[in-house]
């Protein structure tokens, strides 16, 4: 295992599989202690099992940031600090696709739930992460937006696109607010991850997304602040 993140505690929040699992495993392989948070206990256990099988240190906490509930975000941060002593890095990967409808056909409840998951949920996670990071005088946060929010070509998913575009702006604004306090904040904007059984042949794999997250959280990216890094080999 590499030691690039040795001594660092990483909170990976969103789910226990896909991009979250790949990122959690990648951090552990580079020496980090990892807490994984999500709503599915079985998925979380699978991620922790994989990390421990490779000799890494990890634990899990049941918390659903996509719910938008303050209690879930507060619980996952408190549990990480209680278990491992700090939260040095947080990766917030809440993604709910929402309704597939043209704008005028979207139900108000579907609109509200999509924004609650992708925008309010991540804001709430950041709120609790930042309180802790500010108390320790340092930290790194990476949020997951979406490259389609940049292009506006996500036909039939305007609620999702709007929530992710707002998250991108929230990330950049927060970055300016907190860099003076020793906390770096950025976002990534991947497209649909190319996973076995999907048709997204041009999308980055979860492992490639994880590599990008690790770079943004590393000392090599120490001067990268307030960016939304688009993972898209196509031109806009």
Q: For every one of its 236 residues, what pLDDT tens digit does the chain have, with 9 covering 90 and above? A: 568 999 999 999 988 788 999 999 999 999 999 999 999 999 999 999 999 999 999 999 999 999 989 999 999 999 999 999 999 999 999 888 877 888 899 999 999 999 999 999 999 999 999 999 999 999 999 999 987 656 656 677 788 889 999 999 999 999 999 999 999 999 999 876 545 555 444 568 899 999 999 999 999 999 999 999 988 765 44
Catalytic annotation, pick one of 160, 185, 203, 228: 160
Q: What is the four-CA torsion angle of 65, 218, 235, 191, rounded to 10 degrees?
A: -30
- Per-domain boundaries in the chain: 9-231
Q: Which CATH number fits domain 9-231: 3.40.630.10, 3.40.50.10320, 3.40.50.720, 3.40.190.10?
A: 3.40.50.720
Is 178 a known active-site residue? no
What one-character DSSP code corresponds to residue 224?
A: -
Residue 34: beta bridge partners? 10, 58
Specify the pTM. 0.92
């Amino acid at each position: 295992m590499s030691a690039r993140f040795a001594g660092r505690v990483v909170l990976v929040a969103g789910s226990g599989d896909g991009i979250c699992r790949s990122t959690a495993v990648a951090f552990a392989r580079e020496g980090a202690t990892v807490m994984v948070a999500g709503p599915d206990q079985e998925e979380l256990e699978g991620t922790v099992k994989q990390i421990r099988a490779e000799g890494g240190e990890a634990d899990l906490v049941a918390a659903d940031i996509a719910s938008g509930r303050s209690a879930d975000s507060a619980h996952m941060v408190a549990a990480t600090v209680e278990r491992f002593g700090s939260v040095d890095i947080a990766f917030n990967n809440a993604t709910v696709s929402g309704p597939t409808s043209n704008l005028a056909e979207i139900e108000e409840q579907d609109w509200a739930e999509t924004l609650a998951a992708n925008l309010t949920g991540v804001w709430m996670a950041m709120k609790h992460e930042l309180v802790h990071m500010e108390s320790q005088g340092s930290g790194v946060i990476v949020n997951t937006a979406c490259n389609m929010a940049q292009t506006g070509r996500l036909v039939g998913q305007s609620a999702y696109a709007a929530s992710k575009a707002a998250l991108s702006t929230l990330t950049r604004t927060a970055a300016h607010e907190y860099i003076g306090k020793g906390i770096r904040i950025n976002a990534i904007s991947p497209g649909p991850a190319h996973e076995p059984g999907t048709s997204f042949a041009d999308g980055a794999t979860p492992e490639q997304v994880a590599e990008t997250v690790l770079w943004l959280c590393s000392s090599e990216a120490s001067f990268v602040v307030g960016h939304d890094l688009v993972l898209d080999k196509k031109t806009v």
